[in-house]
Amino acid sequence: MASKKTRVRFAPSPTGALHIGGAHTALFNWLYARHTGGSFVLRVEDTDRERSTLEYERTIMDGMMWLGLDWDEGPDKPGPFGPYRQSERLDRYREYAAQLVDQGLAYHDGEAILFKVPSGHKVQFDDVVYGHIEVASEHASVTPEGTIKDIVLVKSDGMPTYNYANVIDDYEMAITCVIRGEDHIANTPKQILIYEAFGWEPPLFGHLPMILGMDKKKLSKRHGATSVFEYSDLGYLPDAVINFLALLGWSPRTGEEVFSRAEAAELFELDKVTKRAAVLDTDKLKFINQEHLKRLDPAKRLELIRPFWVQSGLPVSDFDDAYLAQALELMGGRGQTTQELADYSDYFLSFEPVKARYDAAEIDPERKPVLRAYYDALLAQPSWTAPEMEAFSRAWSEANGTPLKQIAMPLRMSLTGRKVSPGIFEVAELLGREECRQRLAHYGLASK
Ligand code: GLU
């Protein structure tokens, strides 16, 4: 049997921003399409006219673009199966519903059209993730009391319902596999009944596991950042978010935890997705983000950090790119997010944040003359390189019976305002002799 070209779709309702659950669904569809060389369709399910807006549609697309989840057909990318907005397909829904009415499988109730739920046969499907699922047809759609509830296809206002429009579109758009959140498992039998009524072969279904917050409760707004743009604002890289989301329910058979989107697409296997609920572990996201940050090339890293420095009011334009990129290189993988890395490296751009953090109050005034003698001698070294500063400092500490730490810590604090930093002589070298002199002098630790 010749296998059909894979066609999958992400079908968001434009009633809010792209949140983590939606991004997860979009990603798994994208991975499957890219892995199989198929097509990824973006279909906008905007039949809820009160809550759907074009702005939300735009935000969802922007979120997908930020993540790099490109689609092959969609409202902005005409294709052979369009239009891709449900509000532009209303005629079709009416025509197909009329067909079912003609066949005696659906009926009018006022302005609405309802599908007669049949009884007496099994509705079944083999979910790629959840396995075999079957229900008696009369249990596919029930009232809270447990009696058969006919399925509304078209509401009295002329708008199709989700279960109905979804089926018509998946059929018309030749979707081969429906990949979506597990919250739709309960809708699937209703949809299959509609496929059966038309005599259409249903697509494959693969439902993705539920995503839980760290408290093991279903993910919701309470769990903090939910829109993908919040992750962008917090300093997460799109590739890291993709990597992290891919691990919610799947892992590559190589066992690698950190991978690129291309690697994920190459290794993705839909039937390896697990149904076990996945926990959104933010520590893990941070770890993965840090690994992606480390792997960036210096120019790209600088490009990402720059806006965060600008936002903190640092005089970024006073420095050339080579200096800034070198400062970030010196940070040597510190910082789990671009925001953190920008914060941790602020002293390379300005003394102001250092002064705000450090006032040298802990230095015993009686020790200042000794420290000043050392720093003055350091500042007078013939060449201002880290190895020479270090050699000189070791020799000085031995000759004066002062542990290196005791002279290096005030230097670190005066230059960076932080207890932890890259090698302090490397920092001093990059800052330059004059800048170091001024910072030390501010604390009375060097002659002006
Ligand atoms: N518009 C539906 C949703 O956002 C689509 C579900 C589906 O993929 O079938 O939940």
What are the pLDDT tens digits along the chain (448 aa)?
A: 446 899 999 999 999 999 999 999 999 999 999 999 999 999 999 999 999 999 999 999 999 999 999 999 999 999 999 999 999 999 999 999 999 999 999 999 999 999 999 999 999 999 999 999 999 999 999 999 999 999 999 999 999 999 999 999 999 999 999 999 999 999 999 999 999 999 999 999 999 999 998 888 888 767 766 789 999 999 999 999 999 999 999 999 999 999 999 999 999 999 999 999 999 999 999 999 999 999 999 999 999 999 999 999 999 999 999 999 999 999 999 999 999 999 999 999 999 999 999 999 999 999 999 999 999 999 999 999 999 999 999 999 999 999 999 999 999 999 999 999 999 999 999 999 999 999 999 999 999 8
Contact 33, 67 (CB under 8 A): no
Any idea what DSSP says for residue 249? S
Q: What is the pTM of this model?
A: 0.91
The helix, strand and coil proportions of the chain, stated in percent and rounded to the nearest 5, come to 50, 15, 35
What number of other Cβ atoms are within 10 A of residue 347's Cβ? 24
Going by C-alpha positions, the residue among 209, 271, 217 that lies closest to residue 245 is 209
Residues with Cβ within 6 A of ligand 1?
11-13, 45, 166, 180, 184
Give the per-residue pLDDT at 112.
97
Give the per-residue pLDDT at 219.
81
Kindly give the distance from the C-alpha atom of residue 35 to the centroid of ligand 1, in angstroms, as a whole number. 22
Kindly give the distance from the C-alpha atom of residue 86 to the centroid of ligand 1, in angstroms, as a whole number. 12
* Ligand 1 atom with minimal separation from the 166 CA: 9
What number of other Cβ atoms are within 10 A of residue 154's Cβ? 24
Contact 73, 41 (CB under 8 A): yes
Q: Identify the three-state secondary structure at position 442.
A: helix
Which residue owns the Cα nearest ligand 1 atom 4? 12
Which residue owns the Cα nearest ligand 1 atom 6? 11
Give the per-residue pLDDT at 349.
98
Which residues does residue 148 pair with via DSSP β-bridges, in sequence order?
142
Kindly give the distance from the C-alpha atom of residue 344 to the centroid of ligand 1, in angstroms, as a whole number. 42
Give the per-residue pLDDT at 225.
61
Kindly give the distance from the C-alpha atom of residue 210 to the centroid of ligand 1, in angstroms, as a whole number. 14
Dihedral class, residue 113 (left if φ above 0, else alpha if ψ from -120 to 50, else beta): beta
Give the per-residue pLDDT at 216.
87
* Ligand 1 atom with minimal separation from the 180 CA: 8
* Ligand 1 atom with minimal separation from the 187 CA: 9
Dihedral class, residue 178 (left if φ above 0, else alpha if ψ from -120 to 50, else beta): beta
* Ligand 1 atom with minimal separation from the 45 CA: 1
Residues 345 and 327: their CA atoms lie apart, in Å, by 7
Contact 41, 26 (CB under 8 A): no
Which residue owns the Cα nearest ligand 1 atom 10? 12
Which residue owns the Cα nearest ligand 1 atom 5? 11
Question: Which of 9, 52, 162 to probe ligand 1 with, by most ligand atoms within 8 A of CB?
Answer: 162
Residues 224 and 45: their CA atoms lie apart, in Å, by 26
- Token pair listed for 432: 């330059």
| Cα end-to-end distance, the chain, whole Å | 85
Dihedral class, residue 110 (left if φ above 0, else alpha if ψ from -120 to 50, else beta): left
Contact 81, 173 (CB under 8 A): yes
For the chain, how many helices (H) and strands (E)?
A: 18, 11
Kindly give the distance from the C-alpha atom of residue 184 to the centroid of ligand 1, in angstroms, as a whole number. 8
Give the per-residue pLDDT at 266.
97
Residues 35 and 31: their CA atoms lie apart, in Å, by 6
Residues 66 and 42: their CA atoms lie apart, in Å, by 15
Question: Which of 166, 175, 178, 194 to probe ligand 1 with, by most ligand atoms within 8 A of CB?
Answer: 166
Give the per-residue pLDDT at 195.
98
Going by C-alpha positions, the residue among 95, 66, 110 that lies closest to residue 164 is 95
Residues 339 and 319: their CA atoms lie apart, in Å, by 19
Residues 381 and 375: their CA atoms lie apart, in Å, by 10
- Token pair listed for 281: 């572990």
Kindly give the distance from the C-alpha atom of residue 12 to the centroid of ligand 1, in angstroms, as a whole number. 6
Residues 434 and 448: their CA atoms lie apart, in Å, by 10
- Token pair listed for 172: 């018309």
- Sequence-ordered list of residues with C-beta below 8 angstroms from that of 350, at least 6 positions apart, any chain: 314, 315
Which residue owns the Cα nearest ligand 1 atom 3? 12
* Catalytic machinery residues: 221
Cβ burial 308-322 (10 Å sphere, 16+ → b, else e): bbeeeebebeeeeee
Give the per-residue pLDDT at 3.
65
Contact 113, 154 (CB under 8 A): yes
Residues 170 and 168: their CA atoms lie apart, in Å, by 6
Contact 32, 193 (CB under 8 A): no
Give the per-residue pLDDT at 62.
97
